[in-house]
Amino acid sequence: MGEPPELTQAVMDESETEAGKSENTQTQSPPARFNGMQLSTEELISKSIAPVKKEFLRPPPTSRSTTSDSKDDYANSEAPRSSGMIQEKKSKRQLKRERHEKLKSALNLCPSVARTGEISSCIYADKCRFSHDLEAYKSQRPADLEGECPFTYAQKPCPYGVTCRFYGTHKDATNENLDALKEGSEINMLKKDVQRLLWKNNMKFPKSNAVLKQLGVEGRGHTRVKDSEEEESIVPDGSHCSEDKGCEKYDSSDKHGASAVLPEEPLGSDDRRPLKKSKSDIDERNSSNDLNNVTGTSVTVEGLVKDSTKDESPITNDQLPPETDASLKFHPRERKLIDFRGKLYLAPLTTVGNLPFRRVCKDFGADVTCGEMAMCTNLLEGQASEWALLRRHKSENLFGVQICGAYPDTVARAVELIDQECSLDFIDINMGCPIDMVVNKGAGSALLTKPLRMKNAIQAACASAEKPITVKVRTGYIEGRNRADSLISQIYEWGASAVTVHGRSRQQRYSKLADWEYINTCVKKAPASLQVLGNGDVFSYLDWNKHFSDCPELSSCMIARGALVKPWLFTEIKEQRHWDISSGERLDILKDYVRFGLEHWGSDSKGVETTRHFLLQWLSYTFRYIPVGLLEVVPQQINWRPPSYYCRNDLETLMASESAADWIRISEMLLGKVPLDFKFAPKHKSNAYDSAENG
């Protein structure tokens, strides 16, 4: 992947010494000042200001630009200047018309034609919604990017054919070799037959339905699931449509808007997703459900795995489906448990914790990885974008998925479905998410205010799956009113195998430091058999060591934003050292991420821009890293605000920039120039020193 000529010298010149840089900067650098005040190192640290060495300081800019301002400046400077008119916002009809015109464009080449180079290879022929004009595409295709195709690098045939942006580096491959892609490195793809059953509301959930009936929370109408008496047999065994537990088909849809490894053909008219049922139909169906079994909620998990209910018409074992036969079920304490003790656990991270990023962290020594949080309702509706969050790379030897739901029925059915269709080691239920969109639906940290619903959700989930169930919570909903310590023992009784406690309340979001004293209190109140993990502000191996020395009973620490800022943190912890990593080494990390991203999202134009988007989202965190060699006091703390400073070379200074324009510049070094209509805005504003959002 090429670099702009003007930055090549800056990137490659790593021989410049710090002494020479100091001589250039000392003449214009002021003493250690902040906002015009000369402060000592101790005073800077007390104000959460990073103590950068004096020789690297520079005067602050007249107006400190923000990422959004920098993004607007970049957009204004790079946008076409052919017209000075103010562009009006386009209507939905205009946008729809443009999308249809784009589909008819020769650049929107059929994936089958692109892969094989033969027009006859498309099974839809004239009915295909893609273009089949191969010669027109070749005359209009964008120029190749510098570098090697990621699939060629991995010694696999590229499935994107002529549409690959590295087409010139392709090696000759026969069509038979393309079958090797089916044995790819990613699993947990959403199967089309499963998706159609979910779309048509024909999927059966025998385990969760039996558990929900025992708990007395069946038929609340939170999921679009038909009663078993009304359902017709979809498959001979009356269960899911697949016998194996690993979903190994490739699917072209992704959460992040790009193609997967195998571009899939468009569905025919018969495979369109059916319209949702009206609310009146759902209410009418729910009102007919038998709710006479609601006898209370004091049901233990051990009771759920035994058929102890007494109905007016007893059901014999011959009438029970195999999945609900109590003799075949695991006792909650007999399940295979995951030993998290001492393992480096990469936290599930929304948006940035995607599969390519997890591969980077695995290379640096992460032991446990977890997919991005997926919403239960979206999974049960068969949304391919949500199922893409469950994908697993073959290098993730200890892998789990995280789900989030507001009601016991949605959580239980999602857990049963994931346990049946995916290859994983554990399922984590997020009961601490602070995002407004999640909390307003009654999920995430909102469950901390509804312990009865929380109890039913955990019990139903643990009884619906054979995989271990873990739970993640915050200290409480409102700051100063902690309640996780009072729930920790009950969570174990409800069936969870492990609990992660984030040392902040929902109201705090990510402001202030995590309360590790309270996390230690929760650990000491937990039963000896329950693994308790801490989460919050682990940013060096000293932080890791301190938490275990303060509380030896702690099982492990979950690493979140620390890994986003410096993914080599896992290596630092394992090797017990502060790594003064060079800018060249950091650039190599970004190159690996881009290669992994092109493998995951695709090496065509769409995949390149999707990879660029998520690279920029990651760069909105990495700029916060201050090199070890620039600090008066080591290590850096996660809540330190950096002053204006130079670095040891131009590339390192560029990586430390808080300007989105400079992040885009770095992306152009790896993925070529951005399109003319390119726009970018960071999704997250989770700086540790941001103001708290009360909620």
In degrees and rounded to multiples of 5, residue 371 shows phi and psi of -70, 170
What CA–CA distance (Å, rounded) separates 534 from 521? 11
Which DSSP helix (H) or strand (E) runs through 345? strand 345-346
In this model, does residue 278 exceed pLDDT 90?
no
Residue 476 and residue 485: Cα distance in Å, rounded? 9
Q: How many CB atoms are located within 10 Å of the residue 249 CB? A: 16
Helical (H) or strand (E) element with 549: helix 541-550
Is residue 474 within a helix (H) or strand (E), and if so which, with residue range? strand 469-474
Instruction: Tell me which of 122, 241, 376, 433 is the catalytic residue.
Output: 433
426, pLDDT greater than 60: yes
Q: Which of 136-140, 179-183, 232-236, 619-623 comes out lowest in average pLDDT?
A: 232-236
pLDDT grade, residue 259 (50/70/90)?
very low
More confident position, 151 or 305: 151
Answer whether 180's CB lies under 8 Å from 157's CB: yes
For residue 417, is pLDDT > 60? yes
CA distance 545 to 525: 21
Whether the per-residue pLDDT at 8 is higher than 90: the answer is: no
Residues 6+ apart with CB under 8 A from 657: 623, 663
Rounded distance between C-alpha atoms, residue 489 and residue 267, angstroms:
49
Other beta carbons less than 10 A from residue 314's beta carbon: 9
Q: Picking from 36-45, 57-66, 159-168, 611-620, which range would have the lowest pLDDT averaged per residue?
A: 57-66
Q: What is the DSSP string of 240-287?
A: -S-SSS------S--TTSS--SSPPPPP-GGGSPPPPPPHHHHHHHHH
Q: Who contacts 208 (Cβ-Cβ below 8 Å, separation ≥6)?
A: 409, 412, 413, 415, 416, 460, 464
Mean pLDDT of 129-135: 88
Higher pLDDT, 129 or 19: 129
- Determine the average pLDDT of the residues in 21-46: 61
State the Cα–Cα distance between residues 369 and 618, nearest whole angstrom: 17
Length of the chain counted residue by residue: 695
pLDDT more than 90, % of the chain: 56
Per-residue CA distances from 86 to 72, 652, 676, 678 (Å): 15, 37, 17, 17
CB 295 within 8 A of CB 640: no
Find the range with the poorest average confidence among 331-335, 433-437, 640-644, 663-667: 331-335
Say if residues 309 and 294 touch (Cβ distance below 8 Å): no
Give me the DSSP letters along 39-81.
--HHHHHHTTB--B-GGGB-PPPSS---HHHHHHHHHHHHS--
Banded pLDDT at 59 (limits 50, 70, 90): confident
Is the pLDDT at 251 greater than 70? The verdict is no
Q: What is the pTM of this model?
A: 0.78
Least confident span in 198-202, 477-481, 509-513: 509-513
Note the pLDDT of residue 312. Answer: 36
92-123 tens-digit pLDDT: 888 887 777 776 688 888 988 988 888 888 98
Query: φ, ψ for residue 103 (rounded to 5)?
Result: -65, -35
* pLDDT higher at 18 or 214: 214
232 pLDDT higher than 80: no
Mean per-residue pLDDT for 292-308? Answer: 42
> What is the pLDDT at residue 36?
55
CA distance 233 to 237: 8
Would the CA dihedral through 24, 27, 31, 34 be positive or negative? negative
Determine the pLDDT at residue 171. 78
Q: What interhelical angle do 516-525 and 541-550 show, nearest 10?
A: 40
Q: Is a pLDDT exceeding 60 seen at residue 679?
A: yes
Q: Are 189 and 247 in contact (CB under 8 A)?
A: yes
Decide if 283 contacts 221 (C-beta within 8 A): yes
Q: Which residue has the higher pLDDT, 695 or 143?
A: 143
The residue that leads in pLDDT, 563 or 300, is 563
Nearest to 388 by CA among 259, 515, 213: 259
Q: How confident is the model at residue 647 (pLDDT cuts 50, 70, 90)?
A: very high
- Distance between CA atoms of 402 and 471, rounded to whole angstroms? 9
Q: Is 449 exposed, middle or buried (0-12, 13-18, 19+ CB in 10 A)?
A: middle
Report yes or no: 153 and 128 within 8 Å, Cβ to Cβ.
Answer: no
What pLDDT does 127 receive?
A: 86
Choose the most confident range, by mean pLDDT, from 101-110, 147-156, 328-337, 624-633. 624-633
Kind plus residue range of the DSSP H or E element containing 403: strand 399-404
Give yes or no: 462 in active site. Answer: no
% the chain with pLDDT above 70? 70
- How does DSSP classify residue 401? E
Q: Is 59 exposed, middle or buried (0-12, 13-18, 19+ CB in 10 A)?
A: exposed
Cα 356 to Cα 256: distance, rounded to the nearest angstrom: 12
Greater pLDDT, 538 or 36: 538
pLDDT over 70 at 48, yes or no: yes
- Placement of tokens 């009006």 in the chain: 88
**Which pLDDT value is given to residue 119?**
87
Q: Which of 9-13, 289-293, 600-604 has the lowest mean pLDDT?
A: 289-293
What is the separation, in whole angstroms, between the first and last Cα of the chain? 45
Q: Which residues does 167 contact at the CB level (< 8 Å), separation at least 6?
A: 144, 149, 161
pLDDT of residue 130: 87
Joined together, the tokens standing for residue 433 give 């998410």
Residue with tokens 């120029």: 143
In the predicted structure, residue 242 carries a pLDDT above the cut 50: no
User: In 391-435, which ranges are continuous DSSP H helix?
Assistant: 408-421
Q: Are strands 469-474 and 498-502 parallel, antiparallel or unpaired?
A: parallel
Whether a cis peptide bond, with omega within 30° of 0, leads into 59 is no
**Helix H or strand E segment including 101:** helix 92-104
